[in-house]
Structure 1
Amino acid sequence: MKTFQTLPDLAACVGQEVAVSDWITITQQQVNLFAEATGDHQWIHVDPEKAAAGPFGATIAHGYLTLSLLPRFFESSMEIIESRMGVNYGLNKVRFMAPVVVGSRLRARMKLLSAQPIEAGGLQMAWDVTVEREGAAKPVCVAEALVRRYP
């Protein structure tokens, strides 16, 4: 885990890969709970028997489940000691480039694209986040995430 004392310390890393998250395993239980929360019960996500005969040979995670893990990836990869709060501000673009088969392990690489001062001494950052699946040749998700942090 990367540790920064202040927001300006982090802002000095613009243009660099700042951190790589821990690996997490995607479980069928996570997928089922996400389906319950969103109402998306498509068989490719929640029916292991039917999905075994489908195009991926198993159930796959919802793309938006993968995207919803971004805060977890950030939390497991960096700490800013003199920051009391962070908020998601949005996304500029997102692509789901490959499926996430249940049982896969994922991690994210975070590159800081920009850091702009905002009100209350905060910082708005744009991050290039690349979510990788262990053993896969290409990423499963690439997103430009906007995050605001406050001292």
Structure 2
Amino acid sequence: MTTITKEWLQQTIAEFENTRDDIPFGLSDDDAKILIVLKRALVSLDAEPVRYLNKFSGTCVTLEQQSNAADDVAVYMPLYAAPPVPVQVDIEMLASALKNAPLAPSDNQGRPRAPVVPPAIEPDYKVIKSILPTANPDEYACCIAADMWNACRAAMLKGKGE
């Protein structure tokens, strides 16, 4: 069995960091992960137990409560605080969420979304009445509303290149 010492970890971390600084594109993904693990291992060597678990009763005690807990390994097991996990954004998850969003330019299969085009309308009284804020539009108002609707529709289609 190999014993990993603090000195070995410090030396290996320094070598990885020197290599990273010397290479124009930095470390490979695997080497970068190894460097992270080495740094975490170095931090864990300096970690102090926060509590001691009694193997028989299941109670947790501090050294103030049980002064011999650190020495009595047959009865007490040291418990360490877990270091906080660094927040890392999952790029693939974000890309997938963007693709599936209704405003994305393509669907989740990569196909472009079909544009939503409002239909052209005729100056029909029932249709125009549902659009206009006035309760009783006359024939002239219906014609103007239909012309405005169709002009806006034409401008939208022209802007899309259709």
Structure 2 length-normalised TM: 0.25
Larger RCO (CA under 8 A, 6+ residues apart):
1
Structure 1 length-normalised TM: 0.26
Greater strand percent: which structure? 1
Structure of higher CA gyration radius: 2
Greater helix percent: which structure? 2
